[in-house]
Structure 1
Amino acid sequence: MIRLEDLTKKFGSVIAADRINMEVATGEICILLGPSGCGKTTTLKMVNRLIEKTSGKIIVGGRDTDTMDPVEVRRGMGYVIQQIGLFPNMTVEENICVIPRLLKWDDAKAKRRAAELLDLVALDPATFLHRFPRELSGGQQQRVGVARALAADPPIMIMDEPFGAIDPINREIIQDEFLRMQKTLRKTILFVSHDIDEAVKMGDKIAIFRAGKLEQFDTPNNILAHPANSFIADFVGQDRTLKRLRLVRVEQASDRDAPSVRETDELGRAHALMREHRSDSIVVLSAAGTPSGWLHEEDSSGRMGLVSSKARPLPAVIPADADLRTAVSLMFTHGMAWLACVDRDGRFIGQVTQASIMRRLGETYHELDGASAVPIQHGAVA
């Protein structure tokens, strides 16, 4: 969808972007990262021609943007910035309808689109359509900014630190909402960020810049597992293995054969299962198959009666589609070496342990070693 070929920008004697080569496929989110002045924002703005390039090519949807009117290029791209840029004298509805009206949409269609988009960004249209920006929180304003960028249903979105000015709690919420929308919308997105954690969470690809050069362009997993050089390793941080926990789902590290017993089973059966699986604990399930507690080996050894009489409460369970970072956090919070995994209906499907997490991370390193990486722009170690 977007291909950059030797893209270069000079401001006098200063080279702000130096022969950038990268390609972002349809439906991908590409995060542009790097220190201040590295060329990421300049590259972003050349794509929608807010800044004109010095040389090279920008191919969008198979068309060289040099053959297109700059206004046509921009109207095919939604644009979201950190400062949001809502018109203060316009209602939320009027702000969202700006581009549709420039495109000569009829009034009823534009208003329907505004209501649909507010619902999409989790703002109630009946409550927010006729409010002014000053009546919204920062997070709500940012959601309206995203809705406005989506108003004309552009295939591409250009986002310049869109969530950078929002407090951490609301930023996480908006990131999650945006990823939820992206599963349905499948826009092609270039997204400037300064936050490696945001990049790992949101990006299908990450492009890391330094002094105008593209140092590494790859998947988040490859960048964290195999930084191209010492600059990349320092930039992503010494905790890059911990960052990779966000990229692996709990179901990928869970033991589907972990033993369990019903509340109505005998304690002797629970003890036998623990001995069979060489485990000192076992999950207790309700009649519906949901985890309701657990037993330690000492709770069942030599004892009579039903499992329910000795079951201990479970402090936490973990959804199978959660990431391993969430799982590790829960383990540390509750002082547990394992967690019961549940499906979307809350039914027990296995167990994830500290050991299984370590094993799965090791396996993913080997898998990456065997996979072909996205080519990087200039020489670096894999």
Structure 2
Amino acid sequence: MIRLDELTKVFGTPAGDITAADRIDMEVPEGEICVLLGPSGCGKTTTMKMVNRLVEPTSGRIFIDGTDVTKTDPITLRRRIGYVIQQIGLFPNKTVEENICAVPDLLGWDRKKSRSRAAELLELVALDPAVFLKRFPKELSGGQQQRVGVIRALAADPPVMLMDEPFGAIDPINREVIQDEFLRMQSEIKKTIMFVSHDIDEAVKMADRIAIFDSGKLIQYDTPDDLLAHPKNNFIADFVGGDRTLKRLRLITVEEAMMKDPPRVTADDSLSDAVAKMEEHGHQSIIMVGPRGRARGAIRLSDARGQKGRVGEHYSKLPTTVRINEDLRNAVSAMFSADETWLACVDDDGNYKGYITQRGITHILGATYRDQ
């Protein structure tokens, strides 16, 4: 847990004092990612650097897991906090293994323990230790260097990590991959993370909570969904963008928006039974499932009404399906690509779990605004 209590930083300049951080009060719960956002010079980076005292606060207090770190030796403090920067900062004359073990070595870890930790961490970010441990930074791609930079910050198992635009220098394709890898890793290790970014889309994807700053002040501190649905003022609304409703698609899973456990038919059912089920539930189509419950196709009411025979003789193949653990952004994209207004929703094994419609997505997005 990180708690900032009335944290203030004033820089003295020839032109007069500048307040870079003005009485910042906020708390990052244990195991969560907090992304700090705002325009250039707003105070977000200064606020983060005060946590490990790379910038000393003018006043206020900083607590990490209940301990007031403003009374801790700065060098000792920094060795207990993981720190990742955009420029990565790997030591070029050291191997990947030696880079990862830099802080554990400073802390006097047993050599066998620290080297084992380096191999574990490489596996965590999908880099084969047998291939990468003895390589030098110049032998890695930019994305691979960034992964090593992230896990180096984790090597001594710090309770807190600070990240200063860690993915900003990576090309868009690799950035998505590394972000996904990092979120998968975070789901396992559950570190408390403060993360500076300039990208609202990255923040929405990565954060449990977002803090938006302006002119040294913390303007709004909220979950991504609440921030997008209920911006506190015009500055926040403008900052998150006019497409803030569309950004929320990333935050809602298909499972949350779908109609669960709808009626279904099998290949051996009669068309008359399929028609009866559709009419009973007011549906224009119904999914045909296989013996194990997997979605195999669909029957439309307009095609089945008045016809005889079995469902298996008349069904149409599904143009596509969407997995229940995907977000609504992927679901909408799949709908548009297939030119459909609804999709069957399946689990990772292809079992039919429900269906999702454009109208249902519109309703779930609009419900939050209606509740204001």
The alignment's TM-score, normalised by the length of structure 1, stands at 0.93
Match of 1:83 in 2: 87
In the alignment, structure 1 residue 152 sits paired with structure 2 residue 125: no
Counterpart secondary structure, 1:3: strand
AA of the residue aligned to 1:333: S
How many Å apart are 1:268 and its aligned residue? 2.3
Match of 1:376 in 2: none
How many Å apart are 1:257 and its aligned residue? 4.0
> When the two structures are aligned, how many residues end up with a matched partner?
368
In the alignment, structure 1 residue 190 sits paired with structure 2 residue 194: yes
AA of the residue aligned to 1:5: D
Match of 2:212 among 208, 216, 221: 208
Counterpart secondary structure, 2:332: helix
Counterpart secondary structure, 2:202: helix
How many Å separate the matches in 2 of 1:7 and 1:147?
A: 29
Alignment of 1:284-323 (within 5 A): 284-323=288-327
Match of 2:125 in 1: 121
How many Å separate the matches in 2 of 1:282 and 1:30?
A: 43
How many Å separate the matches in 2 of 1:208 and 1:258?
A: 42
Alignment of 1:1-382 (within 5 A): 1-12=1-12, 13-365=17-369, 369=372
How many Å separate the matches in 2 of 1:225 and 1:218?
A: 10
Counterpart secondary structure, 1:252: helix
Match of 1:380 in 2: none
AA of the residue aligned to 1:192: V
Counterpart secondary structure, 2:283: coil
AA of the residue aligned to 1:173: V
Q: What stretches of structure 2 of length at least 5 have no aligned partner?
A: none
AA of the residue aligned to 1:217: Y
AA of the residue aligned to 1:41: T
How many Å apart are 1:363 and its aligned residue? 3.2
How many Å separate the matches in 2 of 1:103 and 1:301?
A: 75
How many Å separate the matches in 1 of 2:154 and 2:203?
A: 21
How many Å separate the matches in 2 of 1:58 and 1:270?
A: 64
- RMSD (CA atoms): 1.4
Counterpart secondary structure, 2:259: coil
How many Å apart are 1:301 and its aligned residue? 2.3
How many Å apart are 1:210 and its aligned residue? 0.8
Q: What stretches of structure 1 of length at least 5 have no aligned partner?
A: 370-382
How many Å apart are 1:295 and its aligned residue? 2.1
Segment drifting more, 6-15 vs 189-198: 6-15
Counterpart secondary structure, 2:104: helix
How many Å apart are 1:365 and its aligned residue? 4.0
How many Å apart are 1:361 and its aligned residue? 2.2
How many Å apart are 1:267 and its aligned residue? 2.2
How many Å separate the matches in 2 of 1:141 and 1:315?
A: 40
Segment drifting more, 273-282 vs 186-195: 273-282
How many Å separate the matches in 2 of 1:20 and 1:53?
A: 11
AA of the residue aligned to 2:131: T
How many Å separate the matches in 2 of 1:139 and 1:307?
A: 51
How many Å separate the matches in 1 of 2:303 and 2:138?
A: 60
How many Å separate the matches in 2 of 1:5 and 1:163?
A: 29
How many Å apart are 1:366 and its aligned residue? 5.4
AA of the residue aligned to 2:70: D
Match of 1:374 in 2: none
Identity %: 63
How many Å separate the matches in 2 of 1:262 and 1:311?
A: 10
How many Å separate the matches in 2 of 1:145 and 1:308?
A: 55
Match of 1:375 in 2: none
Q: Deviations over 1:65-117 (max 9, x none)?
A: 12100011111110111111111111111110111111111211111000000
How many Å separate the matches in 2 of 1:312 and 1:37?
A: 58
Counterpart secondary structure, 1:4: strand
How many Å apart are 1:362 and its aligned residue? 3.0
Counterpart secondary structure, 2:262: coil
Segment drifting more, 358-367 vs 105-114: 358-367
How many Å separate the matches in 1 of 2:222 and 2:77?
A: 26
Q: Deviations over 1:172-222 (max 9, x none)?
A: 121111111112211100000111111111111110011111111111111
AA of the residue aligned to 1:280: Q
